[in-house]
């Protein structure tokens, strides 16, 4: 892009964003936003850098996103940083990526602006990574701020399987028979064993990079979510992109089958 175009955008976009924020309705805004931070590797290839640089650039965009969420009154944000499938990547990529993720989470915890909650199969992660994620949660437990779910080693199918496994183990401890357990199982009982138990389901799910699929993100919780797919790779996702997603959500009529 020509330098004059970049300069023009730097001048015009802040005013455009401010106008969008002023005109944003005070009602019908998403209280829980899920974000699939996709496209770091493709962004790195596009700018001629290595994969680690792309992940680092993506990590640097997390804090601004959380600030934008605060601006519109979001109460819960779920960030998908690493899937269970990603754990199969070569160690030469996975190791640095995990380091970048936990460094970013540590940085958020130190600020104590948001309450952090790791979600995912932490038992699949290296012990040191799981310990740092849990430490970040403990360090922000008493923070009176937006709840931020950090989805690392997360997969929607794995989450549902873990929820069912948890129910079975609890039933076994109580001596519940199979017949009694079958009679007890319903939507609410499964929801109470998910990683996000006690939280509202996401109203809006945003995916960057142009991909238009869930890929296993919040499979159970997103049954009634609105979706917004953005062409920008995650490191290039801007405040104006976020505000457009929220505006699109606010303009939708949500009928839920009625």
Query: Which positions are annotated as active-site residues?
Result: 38, 86
Nearest CA among 74, 146, 155 for reference residue 116: 146
Cross-strand bridge partners of residue 211: none
Phi then psi for 192, rounded to 5 degrees?
-70, -10
- Cβ burial of 89 (10 Å; 0-12, 13-18, 19+) is middle
E runs forming strands in the chain: 32-36, 76-83, 115-119, 147-154, 204-207, 226-229
E runs forming strands in 101-207: 115-119, 147-154, 204-207
């Amino acid at each position: 892009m020509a330098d004059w175009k970049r300069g023009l955008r730097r001048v015009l976009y802040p005013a455009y964003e401010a106008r969008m924020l002023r005109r944003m309705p005070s009602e019908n805004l998403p209280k829980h936003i899920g974000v699939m931070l996709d496209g770091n590797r493709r962004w790195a290839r596009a700018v001629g850098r290595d994969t680690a640089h792309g992940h680092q650039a993506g990590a640097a965009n997390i804090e601004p996103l959380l600030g934008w969420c605060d601006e519109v009154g979001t109460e819960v944000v779920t960030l998908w940083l690493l899937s269970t499938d990603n754990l199969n990547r070569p160690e030469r990529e996975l190791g640095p990526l995990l380091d970048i993720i936990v460094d970013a989470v540590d940085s958020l915890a130190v600020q104590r602006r948001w309450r952090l909650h790791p979600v995912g199969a932490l038992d699949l992660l290296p012990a040191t990574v799981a310990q740092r994620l849990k430490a970040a949660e403990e360090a922000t437990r008493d923070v009176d701020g937006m709840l931020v779910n950090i989805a690392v080693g997360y997969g929607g199918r794995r989450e549902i399987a873990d929820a069912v496994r948890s129910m079975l183990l609890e039933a076994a401890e109580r001596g519940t028979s199979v017949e009694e357990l079958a009679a007890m199982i319903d939507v609410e009982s499964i929801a109470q064993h998910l990683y996000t138990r006690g939280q509202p389901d996401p109203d809006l799910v945003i995916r960057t990079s142009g991909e238009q699929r869930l890929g296993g993100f919040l499979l159970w919780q997103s049954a009634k979510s609105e979706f917004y797919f953005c062409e920008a790779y995650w490191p290039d996702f801007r405040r104006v992109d976020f505000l457009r997603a929220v505006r699109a959500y606010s303009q939708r009529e949500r009928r839920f089958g009625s």
